[in-house]
Amino acid sequence: MESVEIRKSLKQDTFEGVDFLDLDDLLTDEHKLIRTSIRDFVKKEISPYIEDWSQKAYFPTEIVKKFGDVGAFGPQIPEQYGGGGMDYISYGLIMQEIERGDSGMRSTASVQGSLVMYPIYKFGSEEQRNKYLPKLASGEMLGCFGLTEPDHGSNPSGMVTNFKDMGDHYLLNGAKMWISNSPQADIAVVWAKDESGRIHGLIVERGMEGFTTPETHGKWSLRASCTGELVFDNVKVPKENLLPNKSGLGAPLMCLDSARFGIAWGVIGAAMDCYESARKYAAERIQFGKPIAGFQLTQKKLSEMLTEITKAQLLAWKVGKMMNEGKAKTVHISMAKRNNVEMALNIAREARQIHGGMGITGEYPIMRHMMNLESVITYEGTHDIHLLILGQEITGIPAFK
């Protein structure tokens, strides 16, 4: 990546959390300890630089190793493979704190943990687990997840990426699009159809002939994360790189459940950051001889923000508890992802109004969060598709087929 001069912000990150209903009562001491360590990490390693990274569309490759050091990669993966061996609420809290810093930073971490490490752990061989997971956990390797294609987003079963059995190897052809981490990734977990049309996961390594990762430029969203394509032109993939323990569309969708759960928590962080910024700005900004915090409409906005954040926290915590107990279904995760992203986006928009013209500048985090959340509301299941997943559960009739 080309050399870019990054300016460190002089503004102090003084965030202490938003907890109106004393929901910390629902957390263990370990949960709170994990949250504090990641919050401190974000204040030191992300907050001072994120506005400049975002303005300059710069992905800080050095953050990958730092995420590994602080345990942000695969916290829910067992310790024997380098993961944290933590529960799903811990994972959620880690995503929340990172996304308060920036959604693009959270994307980097959640793709690594839920979309790369999780399928290798869940569907991979013991050899694959030992070969890749410790290096992914430590940040020595960065991974990406190839499911979405140029013509197949909400309908992944229509994918055309395919592989043929050539005897001693597989021959992979096709392309994937909108892939977080791809330009910098060392490996890609790629979903492709075999000759019978069955979907399988394959681990594709950088350096394999015919495998390229063109970067996507010109993004107005997630500007501090790297996004690109995966292109496979007669790529020879060793047979031992096939994930052996699950095939079919259900395999990548299980990975997406884990990642969407992380999003449901993560966006609460973005919402809290916008709310806190708006609350502080409203107390300091004087109009008509008094702080704008003293006006009814500003108080209405802040009251509704706090209420919605609190509801989202309860929803995320309950789904986290269900994840820990093995009771959470795709529909529960869809509800949490859809509700919480919409909540965060609405809060970003309201917070922008409280900040007035200052809300569109990099002096405050609002516009960056708002632009980021426009991607989050679409990726890993669009807003409408999650609505229809819930609709199918209610009625028994699939509306998206």
- Tens digits of per-residue pLDDT, 159-203? 999 999 999 999 999 999 999 999 999 999 999 999 999 999 999
So what's the pLDDT on residue 2?
58
Annotated active-site residue 380? The verdict is yes
- Rg (the chain; Cα; Å): 21
Candidates 260, 268, 310; CA nearest to 96 is 268
Q: Residue 274 belongs to a domain with what CATH number?
A: 1.20.140.10
Indicate whether 15 belongs to any domain.
no
Are 275 and 221 in a shared domain?
A: no
Read off the tokens for 278.
């708006």
C-alpha pair distances (Å), 179 with each of 108, 220, 227, 386: 11, 16, 5, 20
Full domain range(s) for residue 96: 23-138
Indicate whether 350 belongs to any domain.
yes
317-327 pLDDT, tens per residue?
Answer: 999 999 999 99
For residue 46, pLDDT beyond 70: yes
**Count of CA atoms in the C-beta half-sphere (13 A) of 326:** 0
Are 117 and 55 in a shared domain?
A: yes
201-214 pLDDT, tens per residue?
Answer: 999 999 999 999 99
The DSSP call for residue 210 is T
Is the distance from CB of 144 to CB of 110 less than 8 angstroms?
A: no
239-256 pLDDT, tens per residue?
Answer: 999 999 999 999 999 999
Domain count, the chain: 3
Instruction: Determine the average pLDDT of the residues in 129-146.
Output: 98
For residue 375, pLDDT beyond 60: yes
Question: Cα separation of 59 and 184, whole Å?
Answer: 9
So what's the pLDDT on residue 7?
92
Q: What percent of the chain clears pLDDT 90, i.e. is strictly above it?
A: 98
Is the distance from CB of 182 to CB of 229 less than 8 angstroms?
A: yes
Are 228 and 258 in a shared domain?
A: no
Read off the tokens for 318.
């309950």
Among 96, 120, 138, the domain-final residue is: 138
So what's the pLDDT on residue 168?
96
Are 154 and 130 in a shared domain?
A: no
59-97 pLDDT, tens per residue?
Answer: 999 999 999 999 999 999 999 999 999 999 999 999 999
Phi, psi of 319, rounded to the nearest 5 degrees: -65, -35
* DSSP structure string for 306-335: HHHHHHHHHHHHHHHHHHHTT---HHHHHH
Question: Cα separation of 145 and 252, whole Å?
Answer: 9
Indicate whether 401 belongs to any domain.
no
Are 290 and 183 in a shared domain?
A: no
Q: What is the mean pLDDT of the chain?
A: 97
Among 196, 215, 247, the domain-final residue is: 247
Question: Cα separation of 285 and 300, whole Å?
Answer: 17
Among 192, 225, 247, the domain-final residue is: 247
pLDDT band at 401 (very low <50, low <70, confident <90, very high): confident
| Catalytic residue selected from 30, 240, 380, 393 | 380
So what's the pLDDT on residue 360?
97
So what's the pLDDT on residue 91?
98
- Left, alpha or beta for 82 (phi > 0: left; psi -120 to 50: alpha)? left
Are 148 and 65 in a shared domain?
A: no
**pTM tops 0.85, yes or no:** yes
pLDDT band at 3 (very low <50, low <70, confident <90, very high): confident
Q: How open is the CA angle 28-31-35, to the nearest 5 degrees? A: 145
For residue 379, pLDDT beyond 80: yes
Q: What percent of the chain clears pLDDT 70, i.e. is strictly above it?
A: 100
Are 183 and 314 in a shared domain?
A: no
Q: Residue 216 belongs to a domain with what CATH number?
A: 2.40.110.10
So what's the pLDDT on residue 282?
98
Are 300 and 276 in a shared domain?
A: yes
**Count of CA atoms in the C-beta half-sphere (13 A) of 388:** 11
For residue 264, pLDDT beyond 90: yes
Indicate whether 170 belongs to any domain.
yes
Indicate whether 90 belongs to any domain.
yes
Are 391 and 255 in a shared domain?
A: yes
Distance, CA of 351 to chain centre: 22
The helix/strand/coil state of 173 is strand
So what's the pLDDT on residue 4?
86
Distance, CA of 297 to chain centre: 33
Question: Cα separation of 281 and 292, whole Å?
Answer: 9
For residue 1, pLDDT beyond 70: no
